[in-house]
Structure 1
Amino acid sequence: MTQTEKYIWLLNTIHRSRGRGLSLKEISDKWRDYMAKEKPLDRATFNRWKAAIELQFKVDIKCNKSGGYRYYIANPEDIEDDKVSKWLLDSVSMGTTLMGNLDIKDRILLEQIPSGLVHLAPIVAAMKSNHRLQITYRGFGSYFSSTFPISPLCVKLYKNRWYVVGQCFYREKWQEMIYGLDRIEEARVLDETFKYPEDFNAENFFEGTLGVSLYEKVKIETIRIRVEYPHAHYVKTLPIHPSQKLIVDENGEYAEFDITVRPTEEFFMEMLRGGALIEVLSPDYVVEQMKGWVNDLYNVYNRK
């Protein structure tokens, strides 16, 4: 177990206690139970870990002296608002949970993530230091690989695949391109640096995008969809897009949501995943496009 994993274990343990907090003895007992063979967590070690957490994750751990010297997270909203910290907390917490239960690993089923994760470390390192990368890349459908430099601007995880947005010299100018890490054969950090563009914002770059494919000519629309129950429960708890808003809830029958996205190929494919349980209601031209996709699907099976 790495030191960072220990910090995250402590942070997650205190965070789960919410406002009630935990005494040092309770934290120590949980640590001993979790690690089995480890000795209890002493105060000196706890204070070192606490200081490291405050420094690395900007999380403020306070002690309620009047309530029995119980430790709690003073700014839990910062964890919820910080997507990277929350994702890291959840991921490492899951990893440490699985590591402590390898004796039942045949009963823990996971989804396979495509290869390419090995390139994430050099890409993030290059992003942090503003160094260019040389990548060898072969896209789907290409017979040959190409090697070229990129200026890495951001990375994005979508449907268990990692992608990097990099400025590449393409068609006689530097422009943003998207590369799947599972299609990168080699990534090497170069000595050459680049200036991070002041007008680039990762969130804005993918604004209105469902997935990673960019279609600037397709304008962003507020699209209303109707989802039948019980599938609506799944859409509520795992939104189709961060912009999703619940508009109508006829509990037991259907729910209607607004999502503000570009109606691109990835959007229609996501709608098709729901089958007859999802219906696009508006705007009219998006409904007509959806009908076209459904008709094409019908023709595929009608030919057989």
Structure 2
Amino acid sequence: MSQQATIKRYLLVLEKVKRGFYPSRQDLIDYLNDQGLKCSTRTFQRILESIRNEFGVEIKYNSHKQGYYIDQELSDDFEPFIRLLEMSQSANTIIETLSEGKDAMQFIHFDSSSLMQGIHYLKPLLRAIRDSLQIKIQYSYFYKEEERSFILNPEFLKEYMNRWYVVGHVDYTEGERVYALDRIKSVELLSDTFTKKLGAVGNYFDDIIGVNFSGEEVKKVVLSFSPHQGNYIRTLPLHHSQEIIVDNKDEFRISIRVKPNFELKQRIQMYGDQVKVIEPELF
């Protein structure tokens, strides 16, 4: 089984189970076969075991519903796992398209090649995070116009707006440090280990938009969008806590519960006169 086919099997099974209709084993096997991915009962069982053992996502059988479901309480890494599978599948699609020849390039436009800078550091950084290894990085700051080398204890990788960041702590300072991979000039894995301090990655980013930690408490933010802009906010929520308060021909109003930070203000400003901040007053 090729790696590409394996990823596609995982993604299709998770997408079908995620819909919440409790598909049976035979439903899922038939679904994979209909997609051109051969699947037997034994293969299906291996898929479930791999998703559970390798990625920590629990797909369980409900005897009352006679079908499968995702146990969200036991699957803390479900959303990041789905995101990685989707990214991998998208990359495979691009690779398949490019293999058709240079003529395919006339139909593809990339937003910016600069966003690809630094992604080759993902593999060594992930190893350092997994094994709790300190790293020595050389970093170029925007605001200082200089490069600096220092030791970082890396704990998370974070993707936001198509840019990757490494989040960690430095022994001689308090709190977290966030560094964009496209500003990193070099990474050296060291033999020294460290003790993680920042907790679970999911909990750490749950209450913010982006990567900057403002130190503020979680607040209720109420935003009123034009009906037209509301169509986009409805399908692409600003935050997982988003709740719709008003949805009519005059406005699309939502609330989110976040720690206000630079990225939130930046996102709001992007909408210009299509949005109005209702709450908090001094935001």
Q: Secondary structure at the match of 1:213?
A: coil
Alignment of 1:87 with 2:83, yes or no, is: yes
Alignment correspondent of 1:301: none
Q: How many residues align?
A: 266
Summarize deviations over 1:118-139 as a string: whole Å, max 9, x none. 1111111111111111111111
What is the aligned partner in structure 2 of residue 177 from structure 1? 177
Task: State the Cα distance separating 1:189 from its structure 2 match.
Answer: 1.2
> What SS does structure 1 have at the residue aligned with 2:156?
strand
Counterpart of 2:191, as a letter, is D
Residues 1:278 and 2:283 aligned together: no
The equivalent of 1:124 in structure 2 is: 126
Distance 2:201 2:12 in 1: 31
1:263-300 CA-to-partner distances (Å, cap 9, x unmatched) read 433322211111111011122222xxxxxxxxxxxxxx
What is the rounded CA distance, in whole Å, between the counterparts of 1:116 and 1:271 in structure 2? Answer: 28
SS in 1 for 2:151: strand
Inter-partner Cα distance in structure 2 for 1:200 and 1:119: 23
Task: Please give the alpha-carbon distance, in whole angstroms, between the structure 1 residues aligned to 2:178 and 2:264.
Answer: 18
Question: How far did 1:241 drift?
Answer: 2.2
TM-score, normalisation: structure 1: 0.74
Amino acid at match of 2:179: Y
Q: Secondary structure at the match of 1:75?
A: strand
Q: 2:53 aligns with which of 32, 55, 62?
A: 55
- Counterparts of 1:231-246 in structure 2, within 5 Å, are 231-246=229-244
Listed as ranges, the gaps of 5+ residues in structure 1 are: 33-39, 287-304
Structure 2 unmatched ranges of 5 or more:
18-22
Give, in whole Å, the separation in 1 of the partners of 2:76 and 2:134.
Answer: 32
Q: How does 1:12-161 map to 2 (within 5 A)?
A: 12-18=11-17, 19=23, 21-22=26-27, 27-28=32-33, 30-31=35-36, 51-57=49-55, 58-60=57-59, 74-76=68-70, 78=72, 82-102=78-98, 103=100, 104-112=104-112, 113-161=115-163
Q: TM-score, normalised by structure 2?
A: 0.79
CA distance in 1, matches of 2:185, 2:129: 19
Q: Give the match for residue 35 of structure 1.
A: none
Q: Does 1:188 align with 2:182?
A: no
Q: Does the Cα contact within 8 Å between 2:222 and 2:254 map onto a contact in 1?
A: yes
**Alpha carbons of 1:28 and 1:149: their partners in 2 closer, same or farther (altered >3 Å)?**
same
Q: How much has 1:207 moved relative to structure 2? A: 5.3
Query: Which residue number corresponds to residue 261 of structure 2?
Result: 264
What is the Cα-based RMSD across aligned positions, in Å? 3.2
Measure, in 1, the Cα distance between the counterparts of 2:107 and 2:76: 30
| 1:31/1:115 CA distance change after superposition, 3 Å | same
TM-superposed CA distance for 1:2, in Å, is 5.1
Q: Which entry has the higher C-alpha Rg, 1 or 2?
A: 1
CA distance in 1, matches of 2:148, 2:233: 40
Identity of aligned residues (%): 24
Structure 1 residues 28, 229: CA separation in 2 closer, same or farther (over 3 Å shift)?
same
Describe the shift of the 1:192–1:248 C-alpha distance in structure 2 as closer, same or farther (beyond 3 A).
same
Deviations 1:116-165 (A, max 9, x none): 11111111111111111111111113333111111111121111111111
> In the TM superposition, what is the alpha-carbon distance from 1:101 to its structure 2 partner?
3.4
Stretch moving more, 46-55 or 239-248:
46-55
Equivalences for 1:183-262 in 2 at 5 Å?
183-197=183-197, 200-206=199-205, 208-216=207-215, 218-250=216-248, 252-262=249-259
Distance (whole Å) between structure 2 residues aligned to residue 109 and residue 56 of structure 1: 35
* Kept in 2: contact 1:130–1:196 (CA 8 A): yes
AA at the equivalent of 2:258 = V
Aligned to 1:302: none
- Find the aligned partners of 1:157 and 1:90 in 2 and give their Cα distance: 13
**Structure 2 CA distance for partners of 1:256 and 1:192, relative to 1, 3 Å:** same
Which digits, 9 at most, give the CA deviation of each residue in 1:215-241, with x for residues without a partner? 22x443212110111110111111112
